[in-house]
């Protein structure tokens, strides 16, 4: 997938091209794309291709095309303080861009199938935090990555404001994905060869919009452990939760500074 816009000489020129072609439409998304150099998520020997509007795959490492990430970031309608779950979080490129918008009161979780890719993402994140000028210019919501199959998330996990899946979702998993969302939340995923945006408008009501024709590698199905039990993926809950304050499931991570302050004071 990709090739929708011309290649850039550098990251800024790639973003200029994505903007001109209307893939990037809002200031927040533009700032996040400019703050993170796509080449930093490539292996050294392949960096020369980083500013082309093309997907890149090497072993288990896989990045989608810039025009796809632009559509995804716009469709997610991100705001500071929201909780975000990235299924198939890969190199962490998208999670880091999202983290720049979520800010210090957000939640930023990623689940990746391959442990070598999770390690790669953690290294890239570490370099970004230590060396990037952008890190000092934004209030960053640092992503946390876990290895596991995202179709086996523990049932007691919180629901999220925003969910993205970076691999093709089979029709039989559509309901599972929709139930990861809080009411009011937005899910973006490739479903039946279309990038699809689903908004949860009520406890059992969702609105679906097809955004773009896409071709994604499918989500890998879980394989059972020797005991026949699923290996459940545990996502780290917020500190408030761990300190013993039970938050009703539908109200996890309410997403406003005011409510964060309320919980902080309650814990004190
Ligand atoms: C196109 S890549 C996503 C890249 C990511 N958006 C980034 O910023 O680097 C899709 C990812 O989904 C992962 N994946 C596929 N099936 C999965 C599953 N069932 N559970 C978790 N991750 C999965 C793949 O290993 C791959 O890293």
Q: Considering only 105-119, 186-200, 247-261, which range has the smallest mean pLDDT?
A: 247-261
* 3-class secondary-structure state, position 267: helix
Q: Is the pLDDT of residue 4 over 50?
A: yes
C-alpha span between 63 and 166 (Å, rounded) = 9
* Residue whose CA is at the smallest distance from ligand 1 atom 2: 62
Q: Give me the pLDDT at residue 261, please.
A: 36
| CB contact at 8 A, 201 and 185 | no
Q: pLDDT (tens digit, 9 = 90+) per residue, 184-220?
A: 999 999 999 999 999 999 999 999 999 999 999 999 9
Distances (CA, A) of 97 to 87, 94, 134, 173, 222: 15, 5, 11, 26, 28
In this model, does residue 253 exceed pLDDT 90?
no
Alpha-carbon gap, residue 252 to 189, rounded angstroms: 22
Average pLDDT of the residues in 172-191:
98
Residue nearest to atom 27 of ligand 1 (CA): 90
pLDDT tens digits along 46-78: 999 999 999 999 999 999 999 999 999 999 999
CB 43 within 8 A of CB 61: yes
- For residue 74, the tally of other CB atoms under 10 A from its CB is 19
Q: CB neighbours (10 Å) of residue 193?
A: 13
Q: Which of 4-13, 210-219, 234-243 has the highest mean pLDDT?
A: 210-219
Among 177, 195, 184, residue whose Cα is nearest residue 71: 195
84 pLDDT tier (thresholds 50, 70, 90): very high
DSSP string for 23-70: S--SHHHHHHHHHS-GGGGS-GGGGGGTTSSB-EEETTEEE--HHHHH
Please give the distance, rounded to the nearest whole angstrom, from the Cα atom of residue 114 to the centre of ligand 1. 8
Q: What is the pLDDT of residue 238?
A: 61
Examine the residue annotation and report whether 225 is marked as an active-site residue of this protein. no
Distance 60 CA to ligand 1 centre (A): 9
Residues flanking ligand 1, CB < 6 Å: 60, 62-64, 88-91, 93-94, 111-114, 117, 149-151, 166-167, 219-220
Substitution candidate for ligand 1 out of 32, 97, 167, 222 with most atoms within 8 A of CB: 167
Quote the pLDDT of residue 227: 77
Average pLDDT of the residues in 226-232: 80
Q: Once rounded to an integer, what is the mean pLDDT over residues 241-247?
A: 36
Averaged pLDDT, 43-47? 97
Mean of the per-residue pLDDT values of the chain? 89
Ligand 1 centroid – CA 243 distance (Å): 32
Q: CB-based burial of residue 71 (10 Å sphere; 0-12 exposed, 13-18 middle, 19+ buried)?
A: buried
Ligand 1 pocket test, pick from 57, 66, 90, 177 with the greatest ligand atom count within 8 Å of Cβ, gives 90
Q: Which of 64, 89, 95, 96 is catalytic?
A: 64
Assigned token pair, 120? 């790669």
More confident residue, 121 or 237: 121
What confidence tier does 224 reach under pLDDT thresholds 50, 70, 90? confident
Distance 89 CA to ligand 1 centre (A): 5
CA distance 268 to 265: 5
Q: In what order do the strands lie in the sheet with 205-213?
A: 144-147, 107-112, 83-87, 160-165, 181-191, 194-202, 205-213
DSSP one-letter string for 98-161 = HHHHH-TT-EEEEEES-HHHHHHHHHHHHHHHHH-HHHHHS-----EEEES-GGGB-TTPPPEE
Position 94 pLDDT exceeds 70: yes
Q: How much is the pTM?
A: 0.89
Task: Over range 151-179, report the average pLDDT.
Answer: 97
């Amino acid at each position: 997938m990709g090739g929708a816009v011309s290649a850039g000489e550098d990251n800024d020129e790639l973003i200029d091209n994505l903007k001109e072609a209307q893939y990037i439409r809002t200031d927040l998304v533009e700032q996040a794309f400019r703050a993170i150099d796509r080449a930093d998520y490539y292996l050294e020997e392949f960096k020369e291709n980083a500013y082309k509007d093309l997907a890149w795959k090497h072993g288990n490492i896989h990045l989608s095309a810039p025009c796809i990430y632009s559509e995804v970031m716009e469709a997610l309608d991100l705001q500071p303080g929201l909780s975000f779950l990235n299924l198939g979080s890969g190199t962490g490129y998208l999670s880091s861009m999202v983290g720049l918008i979520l800010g210090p009161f957000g939640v930023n979780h990623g689940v990746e199938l391959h442990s070598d890719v999770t390690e790669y993402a953690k290294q890239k994140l570490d370099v970004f935090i230590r060396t990037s000028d952008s890190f000092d210019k934004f209030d960053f919501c640092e992503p946390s990555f876990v290895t596991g199959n995202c179709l086996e998330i523990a049932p007691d996990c919180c629901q999220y404001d925003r969910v993205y899946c970076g691999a093709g979702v089979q029709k039989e998993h559509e309901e599972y994905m929709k139930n990861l969302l809080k009411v009011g939340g937005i899910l973006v995923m490739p479903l039946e060869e279309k990038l699809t945006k689903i908004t949860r408008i009520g406890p059992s009501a969702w609105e679906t919009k097809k955004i773009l024709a896409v071709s994604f590698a499918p989500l890998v199905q879980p394989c059972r452990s020797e005991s026949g039990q699923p290996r459940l993926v545990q996502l780290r809950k917020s500190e408030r939760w761990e300190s013993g304050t039970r938050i009703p499931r539908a109200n996890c991570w309410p997403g406003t500074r005011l409510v964060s302050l309320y919980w902080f004071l309650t814990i004190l």
